[in-house]
Amino acid sequence: MSLEQELYELGSNLSFRLLNSSLFDKEVLIGLKPITVRSITGKAFSYPQSNSQEYVEAVYRHFEDVNSKVRTMTLLERNCHILRETFQLPKESVNLLALIVVNSLNPAFNELLETHQGLSDNVLHQLLSEALNVDYLTLKNTFESLAESGLWSSSIYGSEDMLQIHNGFAKALACKHAIDFSDLISNVVTISSKPDLKLSDFEHLDTDLPFAFSSGINDLPESGVNILLHGAAGVGKTQYAKLLVNQINANLYEVKAKGGDLSSPDDELDSRRSSTQLRLQYLKMAYRLFDSQRDAWLLIDECEDIFASFSLSTRISKDRLHQLLEVNTVPTIWITNHPESIPVSCLRRFSLVVELPNLPANGKFDMVSSCFKGLRLSKGFKEKLANSEAATPALLENAASLCKICNVKGAVAEEYTNTYLTEVLKLTNEPLETPVYKPELEFDPAYCNLKGDLHSLADITKTIERHPEARILLFGPPGTGKSAFVDYVCKENDLGLVTVKASDVLGKYVGESEGNIARLFEKASNEGKALLIDEADSLLTSREGATKSWEVSQVNELLMQIERFQSPLFIATNYFEALDKALLRRIDFKIELQALKHQQAISLFEEVVGVELDTDNKSLLSHMTNLTVGDFAILSRQLKFQEKRLTMEKLLWLLRSESAYKQSKFEIGFHASI
């Protein structure tokens, strides 16, 4: 007999049981269409529908005839026995479980059952008790046990809500030739594969504590054990989780984000079956399944959607999240790219929190060599990949796999890898190679005019050498070379430099910007590099004019990180007056980079253009009092791009135009004479 025929027979049997209950009002059969009857039994039924007792009797006789022969146990009922044993339910509950599955899969049967929609739990229990031949109290207790099983979401309001189960699990019960409960939920909980990376790939992390903790937990019957792994996408969090569990010879099971057998995407989006609700249901089922297995761990990847549901005021309550973390009976590893989306009260309930930063260049080179082993990449290309912050371990593994599938090596493998990484990183607006600061004109101390707490480059270099925690604010008009100045000072002190701009910090999630700020400061600190906050006015604007709470919290986070930072810190801005007052109190040295002096402008002009100025042209240049190195960089580029050699008049006109743009008295708009 086919599975479809089995379901028809079972549906017919359950329908006939309902019709024979003293609490079932047979008059409702008048509204049941013949096609609905056929869809329940799978047998022809063509009696003309009418508002008569004869039609009701015809429907009843049809169900009676279909159920006249002896019926064998269906695959669904056998699977319901497995479910009953897993949740330690009474034997009589098999008929109830079968009814729930048939009602979930067969819309026609659901239409029959919904003719008695709106019954109180008490009356519904009496109806089902009589129809299914189950003791009333046994049936009532079965509903209560099922409500705690994880097979339904927490949003059920009564037994009527439990008469349907989500489509994926209903199909598994009806169609899978299962041996045990793990077979029934294999579409949502699967055993994890072995790790692809080695422990040596994580030498940049302090692994002693996490590995000691996981080993200790495996030896103790603890509940509420939760480890949070967080970090940027692709840094190896899942691989690290696999290593963590693999080293204690335990099994790691992944709870998927959503069921693979859902009939349509709407099942995920339905308010009663949201992805978050489903994941929590799957998790509760997994806890029940692995409760007695000492070597089982669970993995929840991309867990932020569960916790974000509380933040977005959906059905997930804070108490439920707390309970989830406090009483789970199976050690669980939670993975997220966005820890800022997890409520603080939940963060406090994690047994251990581990951040996975990107691999440092030296460790990453070894990983690249291992990953691309046999593909004959050049040392220079491997160094390029190792030095790329955007090329995460996950992306590198994908690139290596691509080359192996395409069966390419050497220069072709390098070309394919470069193309793959470039195209992927375009989607996240990240460059494969970190841009190196290269000004149009090399920085020359001779064209640097300083005014403030330190009067010369030599003073600044010595100060940083003696006091590496110095905080220096650089301000002045655009083009005075603040970024080039910092780059020069760092090179003089043999310091690496991490540059931070607004685009590196601002995020779309609440709290994400603050997290980005903390990570950038931590990166510079861990690598022993100086930090430059460029265009600081866009990040450290005075809080007095803030209109959004995140603007205030962002400045607060920056100020806190500035106070803690123990390496050289440079802050550059064109708009000194826009900076927050609290920042100015935290600065050790304030230095203004001023426009070029007359003689400096003459020398730089002659150096860039390659000709000497006569007296008249020097006089013209003397009237441009606000010229900066940046203006001459523009001039240099114009000379480079123009096919015809520019005349002296044109060159001076270009400088005069740049100077005019910056005149404080220069106004834009319409003027009327009075």
The pLDDT-based confidence of 520 (bands split at 50, 70, 90) is confident
Is the pLDDT at 184 greater than 90, yes or no?
A: no
Task: Please state which CATH number belongs to domain 445-593.
Answer: 3.40.50.300
Same CATH fold assignment for domains 361-426 and 445-593: no
- Distance from C-alpha of 644 to C-alpha of 639, rounded to nearest angstrom: 9
Beta strands of 233-339 (E only): which ranges?
251-255, 296-300, 332-336
Section 185-198 average pLDDT: 83
Averaged over 68-93, what is the pLDDT? Answer: 84
Rounded Cα–Cα distance for residues 570 and 9 (Å)? 78
The residue-averaged pLDDT of 228-247 equals 89
Give the other-Cβ count within 10 Å of 423's Cβ.
10
- Domain made up of 361-426: CATH architecture: Orthogonal Bundle (1.10)
In degrees, rounded to 5, the angle at the alpha carbon of residue 201 between the alpha carbons of residues 375 and 246 is: 110
| Confidence bin at 401 (pLDDT 50/70/90) | very high
The phi, psi pair for 172, rounded to 5°, reads -60, -45
Contact 310, 206 (CB under 8 A): no
Q: At 5, which helix (H) or strand (E)?
A: helix 3-19
Map residue 558 onto helix, strand or coil: helix
Q: Are the beta carbons of 501 and 537 closer than 8 angstroms?
A: no
Whether the pLDDT of residue 20 is over 80: the answer is yes
Who contacts 36 (Cβ-Cβ below 8 Å, separation ≥6)? Answer: 108, 111, 112
Which numeric CATH code is attached to 189-355?
Answer: 3.40.50.300
How far CA 577 is from CA of 152, 453, 542, 581, in Å, comes to 59, 18, 9, 9
Of the candidates 351, 393, 419, 120, the residue with the CA atom closest to the CA atom of residue 231:
393
Distance between CA atoms of residues 215 and 243, nearest Å: 12
pLDDT per residue over 567-598, tens digit each?
Answer: 999 999 988 888 888 888 889 999 999 999 99
Q: 7: number of CA atoms within 13 Å, CB side? A: 21
**CB contact at 8 A, 443 and 487:** yes
pLDDT at 376: 93
Question: What pLDDT, on a 0 to 100 scale, did the predictor assign at position 379?
Answer: 92
Q: pLDDT tens for residues 272-330?
A: 445 666 677 778 778 877 876 778 899 998 888 777 655 444 455 677 778 878 888 89
Kindly report the average pLDDT of the chain as a whole number. Answer: 82
pLDDT digits (tens, 9 = 90+) for 406-419: 999 999 999 999 99
590 forms beta bridges with 473
Residues 157, 145: Cα–Cα separation, whole Å: 15
How many other C-beta atoms can be found within 10 angstroms of the C-beta atom of residue 291?
Answer: 11
Side-by-side strand order, sheet with 189-191: 189-191, 251-255, 296-300, 332-336, 226-230, 352-355
pLDDT greater than 50 at residue 671 = no
List the single range of 16-30, 448-462, 532-546 with lowest mean pLDDT.
Answer: 532-546
Condensed to tens digits (0 to 9), the pLDDT of residues 537-558 reads 887 777 766 556 667 888 888 8
What pLDDT is attached to residue 245? 92
- 528 sits in the region (left: phi over 0; alpha: psi -120 to 50; else beta) called left
Domain chopping of the chain, boundaries: 3-178, 189-355, 361-426, 445-593, 598-661
| Distance between CA atoms of residues 499 and 433, nearest Å | 15
Give yes or no for residue 88 having a pLDDT over 70.
Answer: yes
pLDDT computed for residue 547 by the predictor = 59
pLDDT in tens, 111-164: 888 887 777 888 888 999 999 888 899 888 888 888 777 676 555 556 777 788
| Cβ–Cβ < 8 Å for 443, 481 | yes
Tell me how crowded residue 470 is: count the other CB atoms within 10 A of its CB. 19
